[in-house]
A and B are shown apart, each in its own frame.
Chain A
């Protein structure tokens, strides 16, 4: 299966600890998105990369959150000093397309479920 993969699938941590999640997009996809999904809600956009460049960040992405895509392939999302409110499913999606299209389908990974105790 050459879909989007995410690691780990589940993470339990104590408040105040740092956590890092990894996303491996579909190999030829140049765009990568991070979303957060809380219980009873749809996914909410966090940040977006085109190749290695981080082009947009949501106001949901506080300064405790940082994302990288150093070689334009896999991406990491780090949360520092976790809080109980960070408990959520973190979803990664990837797509391929031109600069002004927007009609491409985003393909999602299985997500990383974070629980902050």
Chain B
């Protein structure tokens, strides 16, 4: 079975500082990995995904994530946080070549960027 762990329920960071939101995964096979962001009372918005190739993936709004196979991690990063980045962030995984199995999501990490 596949699973995702987001070890931090909440991450606080000062505006302008770099941010990291952690994600580790467990799958029996090679993964596809995704990050989504959710603003209050809204659906999930896609940020970025890792499929294959370069381990550093760049996405929307200046976010990037690094796939680390040995550590089974896919941490989300941004060099300089904005107050508007404050939201709920979800990591999700799907096993490669598993057909159309659904995404498995972590519990989410609430990011709070303080001015």
Contact surface of A with B, Cβ cutoff 8 Å = 4, 6, 31, 33, 35, 40-45, 48, 50, 55-56, 58, 91, 93, 97, 99-103, 105-111, 113
Contacts and interface: CB of A to CB of B under 8 A. Distances in A.
Interface residues of B, number: 29
A110 B51 CA distance: 26
Nearest to B94: A102
B14 interface: no
A-B interface, 9 closest residue pairs, ranked by CB to CB distance from nearest: A42-B105, A45-B102, A108-B43, A108-B44, A110-B43, A103-B51, A111-B43, A43-B105, A109-B43
B62 to A, nearest CB: 19
B1 to A, nearest CB: 13
A108 B45 contact: yes
B105 A102 contact: no
14 contacts: A42-B107, A43-B103, A43-B105, A45-B103, A45-B104, A56-B102, A102-B94, A103-B51, A103-B96, A106-B103, A107-B46, A108-B44, A110-B41, A111-B42
Contacts of A101: 100
A99 B100 CA distance: 7
Contact of B102 (A6, A33, A103, A105): A33
A103 B32 contact: yes
A8 B104 CA distance: 25
Contacts, number: 72
A103 B49 contact: yes
Interface in B60-110: 90, 92, 94-108
A71 B115 CA distance: 49
Nearest to A42: B105
A4 B43 contact: yes
Contacts of B4: 42
B35 to A, nearest CB: 11
Contact of B32 (A33, A40, A58, A102): A102
